[in-house]
Each structure stands twice: as C-alpha cells, then as structure tokens.
Amino acid sequence: MTKTILRALAGETLPVPPVWMMRQAGRYLPEYRETRAKAGDFLSLCYNPDLAAEVTLQPLRRYGFDAAILFADILLLPQALGADLWFETGEGPRLSTITGQADLARLKDRDAIHETLAPVYETVRILSRELPKEVTLIGFAGAPWTVATYMIAGRGTPDQGPAHALKAADRATFAALIDLLTEATIDYLSAQVEAGAEVIKLFDSWAGSLKGRDFDDFAVTPAARIIAALKARHPGLPVIAFPREARGRYVGFAKATGADCVALDNSVAADWAAENVQRDGCVQGNLDPSLLVTGGEALVTETRRIVKAFSNGPHIFNLGHGITPDADPENVHRMLTAIRG
C-alpha cells in the first residue's frame, strides 16, 4: 500500500499528513469557471463525464493533492429517485418537496437510480484511468438526513426546520424517506466503487441539528447501515464519515458507525479532537476555510498547529468545510507549504 491516504485510513501515523480539500474543484479556480461556462450550467457539468472528470483533475494539476474527489452533487440522488431538481443562480438548489406520504409514494424505487446516475459512474471510470498512480480517488454521497432536509424543504434552510417539523408530525413518512435514501445510497456508492472509487465519503452536512435520540436514529444508524453494507459488498473499502457540527457526538462516532475515519469541522479544537476522537482511529480536518481567504501568517500558524495537534495518530489534513469561492488560490499553495515544508 503506497498511497498515503489509504495508509492513513488503515491507521498508520505518517510523518507528513496526506492532504486534500473539500470542494477542491470549485469556483475559486479560474480553470473551473471556464469549464463550467463551457458546460452551460452546474447540472450539465455534473452529468458530462468528460467535463466532470476535467474539473476533478484541475486541482490535482495545480496543487498535487493526495486525493481527488469525484465532482458531483449530493442532490443528484434525489433527482435519480424522481425529485425535480434545478439551481437558481445565486440562490442554490431547488427541489420538489416531500410533505407527506403521497409525495413519498411518487418517488421511484431504489433500483431505478442507475439510469440517471450512469454519467456519474462514467466520470469515476475516466478518473480511475487518468489520475496519477499515487493519488487516491474518493467517491461520495450525502447522508440520508442531510439529503432528506433538502427534499422536504425543497431548498437549503438555516435550521432544517421543515425536516424537523415533518419528523415530529409524521414520523412514519419521515422514517420511510430516510430508509429509502439509506438503501439507495448503498446502491449508488457501491456503483461508484465498482467503477473505480477507492474510498467513500459520507457527507452529513446538517447532522449538527439532530439532538439526542434523533442523532442516533437519523445520523448514526443510517451511516452504520450504509457502511456495513458497503463493506460487506466491498471488503476492505475505507469510509470517511463527516457528521458536521456533531460537537461532542464526534466522540465514539467511528466505533458506532464502522467508519475508518471521522472528518471534523472547524468548530472543534484540534487538541480536543486529538484526545477524544483520534484515539479511535484516523481523523480528517480541520482548517477554517476562511483562512484561505485572508491568508497571511495566521494561515501558516494555524495549519502548522493542526498538523502538530494530530501528529501522534493517523491524520488526513483537510478543511473544516468546503473551500469558498472567494478563496485565493495562492493561499492553497501557502497551506501546502506549511504542511509539507
């Protein structure tokens, strides 16, 4: 095993942590903006295998990251299940809504997703051929709770209020939606692995709004089901879980779900996470993305501090959330120099 990401995920402590960035293919790069313009719109880019592979490769050429993550979107799965999906310029995604059992019944069966998602699998195949041999290919999906919040509200919301409301008013319908998304996510991610993905990442971006028993039922349990099924189908497959803003619930999350690595947001201190989360295995994170906007000595100092905090165990360096469109590409070089020397 020579790929540094895979070594870290297997529990090895490396002298220099491997590094990649969430949303590393994105609007902060001029070459990405040019390719997206060529595609016409965001969804057309996601469903064009040649162009999606191109934008996945662009940050590798510029920075030499240790991993590439498939360029796609977590909302392609609900679209494949029959939800209407479009993007409003400057406002983000819009979907048809799930407000009750009748809406849920109109969705397709999990077996129907692959026709829509076939271009995504082709992107993975292209990348598995074209990536440098030392670079790890990461596939991904949104976790059921996070995807459900968009499907219920029809858009992103600051507090996931519509999803919490449906959960309280009609728990049976809500649970059925989570179950459908869990099973469909297993099939979607398994197809990515069959196409060439070497690692899977499960993004639960809104996990932090689940409290108490709800966190166990709708963040931990679906992740555990997905990871167990993937590992049964693909023995040895490493999985990274990202229950964003889980705070104290990061502790024990790897053991509870079977994840090989827990990705951390930047609301938790690296020193605390090293003591309480890294003891169970690999952690990923957790630089504040805003430092790639402001740069300066604060970027270098914080990058080195995080590397040092996690230096006694397996660590993949990453951001605490995705890089933002206003980040300075030169600051990424500064970050990498601080990590690699």
* Residue positions annotated with a catalytic role: 23, 27, 36, 73, 150
Distance CA 156, CA 95 (A): 10
Residue-by-residue DSSP string for 56-115 = HHHHHHHH--SEEE----TTHHHHHTT--EEEETTTEEEE----SHHHHHTSPPGGGHHH
Contacts of 147 (CB under 8 A, 6+ apart): 74, 75, 77, 78, 141, 181, 185
Buried b or exposed e, range 308-329, using 16+ CB within 10 angstroms: ebbeebbbbbbbbbbbeeebee
Distance CA 183, CA 185 (A): 5
DSSP conformational letter for 202: E
